[in-house]
């Protein structure tokens, strides 16, 4: 089964960051956000030239009915660790997804806003799966859940945690402390024998615009 990766800060108790990280392990789930809460200010933007006002209105309504969980295809990206992994002092969680109610879509990157074209025939999934090129280093895969009439709002994606990477900047004296804490959280969900290891600097990589290469 394919593996996907979620970068997180560890946080300090009782901060919101700490509680949210703990929740991932205790409940084996990842939060699914609405597009308006994502960190890209141009999230779900598109070129609406050629669309009618009714089509644009329909797209806007559809976008509010989708929740998104963003994951990466890599656990070693130096910028992902810097931006989402607590400046290399956080963690990256390897997970498997087995949820028949979500749509898996690999994000496509381009230098211009994506356009549905004339004679609107797109879906909101198309819009949610396109981002501008500067985000390409994320190697993002998205899991989308569409809200249907009468459904409760499903804010979480159930996951199976298979491995945990600790950031390379965590002091050696703290690695065992964090490992013990994560194991304690996992055991509350009856998850045992999940490998926890510290990523080393020579394992880091980066996206150079064409391919992923080793940092060192």
List, for residues 103-132, the tens digit of each pLDDT value: 999 999 999 998 876 555 568 889 999 999
Query: Considering the domain boundaries, does residue 48 fall inside one?
Result: no
For helices 172-188 and 16-27, give the axis angle rounded to 10 degrees: 50
- State the pLDDT at residue 118: 54
Query: Considering the domain boundaries, does residue 189 fall inside one?
Result: yes
More confident residue, 13 or 76: 76
pLDDT over 90 at 184, yes or no: yes
How many structural domains comprise the chain? 1
CB 51 within 8 Å of CB 126 = no
- State the pLDDT at residue 190: 86
**Interstrand relation of 66-72 and 140-146 (parallel, antiparallel or unpaired):** antiparallel
Mean pLDDT computed over 42-63: 90
The total of other beta-carbon atoms located within 10 Å of residue 72's CB is 20
Confidence of residue 134 (pLDDT cuts 50, 70, 90): very high
**For 91, phi and psi rounded to 5 degrees?**
-150, 165
Query: Considering the domain boundaries, does residue 78 fall inside one?
Result: yes
11: tokens are 């946080």
- State the pLDDT at residue 119: 53
Domain containing 104: what range? 4-41+66-111+125-214
CB 82 within 8 Å of CB 138 = no
What's the farthest any 2 CA atoms get from each other in the chain?
Answer: 61
Query: Considering the domain boundaries, does residue 31 fall inside one?
Result: yes
Query: Considering the domain boundaries, does residue 190 fall inside one?
Result: yes
Mean pLDDT computed over 24-35: 96
Mean of the per-residue pLDDT values for the chain? 92
- State the pLDDT at residue 146: 87
pLDDT > 90: what percent of the chain? 76
Query: Considering the domain boundaries, does residue 184 fall inside one?
Result: yes
Query: Considering the domain boundaries, does residue 173 fall inside one?
Result: yes
Reported pTM: 0.94
pLDDT over 70 at 24, yes or no: yes
């Amino acid at each position: 089964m394919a593996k996907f990766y979620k970068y997180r800060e560890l946080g300090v108790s009782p901060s919101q960051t700490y509680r949210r990280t703990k929740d991932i392990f205790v409940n084996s789930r990842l939060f699914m956000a609405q597009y308006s809460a994502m960190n890209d200010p141009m999230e779900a933007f598109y070129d609406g030239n050629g669309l009618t006002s009714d089509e644009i209105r329909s797209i806007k309504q559809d976008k509010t009915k989708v929740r998104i969980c963003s994951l990466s295809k890599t656990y070693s990206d130096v910028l992902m660790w810097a931006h989402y992994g607590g400046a290399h002092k956080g963690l990256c969680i390897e997970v498997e997804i087995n949820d028949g109610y979500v749509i898996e879509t690999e994000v496509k990157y381009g230098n211009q806003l994506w356009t549905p074209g004339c004679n609107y025939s797109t879906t909101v999934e198309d819009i949610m799966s396109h981002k501008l090129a500067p985000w390409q280093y994320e190697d993002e895969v998205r899991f989308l859940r569409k809200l249907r009439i009468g459904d409760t709002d499903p804010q979480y994606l159930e996951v199976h945690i298979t491995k945990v990477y600790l950031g390379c900047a965590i002091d050696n004296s703290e690695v065992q402390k964090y490992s013990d804490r994560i194991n304690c959280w996992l055991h509350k969900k009856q998850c045992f024998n999940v490998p926890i290891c510290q990523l080393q600097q020579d394992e880091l990589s980066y996206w150079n615009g064409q391919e992923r290469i080793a940092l060192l």
